[in-house]
Structure 1
Amino acid sequence: MGNRSFLILHGVENHRPAGHWQHDLARRLRDRGEQVLYPQLPDPDRPSLEAWTAAVEDGLAAMSGERVVICHSLACVTWLHLAARSGGALLADRLLLVAPPGPGAFSWDVIAPFTPDPLDLTGLPLAAGSARLVCSDDDPYCPEGADTAYGLPLGCDTDVLPGTGHLAIPDGYGPWPSVLDWCLDGTVRLTARPTAG
């Protein structure tokens, strides 16, 4: 187990439902005796970039040992903004970005202030150790392809999972054993969750 802590960050309109893979992940990690922070980010239906980055900073301040951060959807872009403001400081030891929304998604007024357009993704300080992007080839919130929109400019390892949508409850994500495996061993590549039957 070692001395480490996990910070799990959700996306827009996510009220941490019990059926979501992040909720399941938090429970499974806690069951193993791990330190887990899974905060409800402020006003998830009408998020504010400033409020979300402040909440993430509070979470980081509460972590100890190896800092492992797992972001889904809008939390990924929140992390990119925070990294851009860090002055080169490395805020996490390991980072997992799951299904960030693509450039076209920010035409939605609710998340428009989070647009990554002003950020220079090349060379952004993501994590002291490994940073990994996991995305689908058919995410309706990123038709541009997150591997192209984010993985290439960020220069991070990327796992593309075919036909997995936005990697959320409507897509069957639910418990996701692979993400727990990655949390326990950062060298693991992410795979799609097993299908029933």
Structure 2
Amino acid sequence: MWNRSFLILHGVENRRPAGHWQHELALALRGRGEQVFYPQLPDTDRPSLEAWVEAILAELALMRGEKVVVCHSLASTAWLHVAAAAPAAADRLLLVSPPGPAAFDWDVIAGFDPAGLDLGGLELAAQTPRLACSDDDPYCAEGAAETYGAPLGCDVDVLPGAGHLALDDGYGPWPAALAWCLDPAERLAPNR
């Protein structure tokens, strides 16, 4: 019986490609005997917030033991909406590179805009959530640490020059993400 399980959630237009840090994380965790859920969320090119929240809640219902959730990009803001519907649905949470306010001008993801949510009032997880972001993310020019970290009460790790923390930014295997999954005291460090 598993005493913890992991849910890894991707962003828009992400088909869970081999080599991406989330794909590599799922493989590494499974290789250690961990229970890992890494679903392909519906309609990844034109996502619907309602469909993504429904899919995420369905995956959460399958998890056993400590629930650890790892979100990248649009999944990070989808999680904010999940938290509004199901407070503290996770025990531990890692948000990576959430899109900033200007990104929601793109009609494809506009429905995921968290602007209508009370960020300070959300219960994202049972433990203090962690946010990992870059200081030069093109999808969050406003700065994720300021936009999300402080209002959500997250522990924040800013990774200098890491872009969107995607495969093109050098985030294939990301040992720091695996280390955090195994021990929440670990800080998220850049790939160098």
TM over 0.5: same fold?
A: yes
* Structure 1 stretches of 4+ moved >3 Å: none
CA deviation string 1:13-55 (max 9, x = no partner) = 0000001000000000000000000000001000000000001
Q: What is the match of residue 91 of structure 1?
A: 89
Q: What is the match of residue 55 of structure 1?
A: 55
Q: What is the match of residue 105 of structure 1?
A: 103
| 1:148-159 → structure 2 map (5 Å cutoff) | 148-159=146-157
Percent identity over paired residues: 69
Q: CA deviation at 1:85?
A: 1.9
The two structures have a TM-score, normalised by structure 1, of: 0.95
1:29 match: secondary structure: helix
Code of the aligned partner of 2:33: G
More deviation in 96-105 or 77-86? 77-86
1:71 match: secondary structure: strand
Q: What is the match of residue 186 of structure 2?
A: 188
Code of the aligned partner of 2:73: S
Aligned residues: 192
Q: What is the match of residue 132 of structure 2?
A: 134
Q: CA deviation at 1:123?
A: 2.7
CA deviation string 1:96-121 (max 9, x = no partner) = 00000000000000000111110110
Structure 2: runs of 5+ lacking an equivalent? none
Q: Is the 8 A contact 1:92 1:128 kept in 2?
A: yes
Q: What is the match of residue 120 of structure 1?
A: 118
Q: Is the 8 A contact 1:5 1:67 kept in 2?
A: yes
Q: Is the 8 A contact 2:129 2:153 kept in 1?
A: no
Counterpart-to-counterpart distance in 2, 1:100 and 1:191: 17
Code of the aligned partner of 1:157: D
Q: What is the match of residue 72 of structure 2?
A: 72
Q: Is the 8 A contact 2:128 2:153 kept in 1?
A: no
CA deviation string 1:141-164 (max 9, x = no partner) = 000000000001001100000000
Q: CA deviation at 1:90?
A: 1.4
The two structures have a TM-score, normalised by structure 2, of: 0.98
Q: What is the match of residue 144 of structure 1?
A: 142
Counterpart-to-counterpart distance in 1, 2:4 and 2:83: 20
Q: Is the 8 A contact 1:130 1:186 kept in 2?
A: no
Counterpart-to-counterpart distance in 2, 1:46 and 1:21: 23
Is residue 42 of structure 1 aligned with residue 42 of structure 2?
Answer: yes
Q: CA deviation at 1:82?
A: 1.0
Counterpart-to-counterpart distance in 2, 1:121 and 1:164: 25
Q: What is the match of residue 31 of structure 1?
A: 31
Q: Is the 8 A contact 1:123 1:155 kept in 2?
A: no
Q: Is the 8 A contact 1:99 1:146 kept in 2?
A: yes
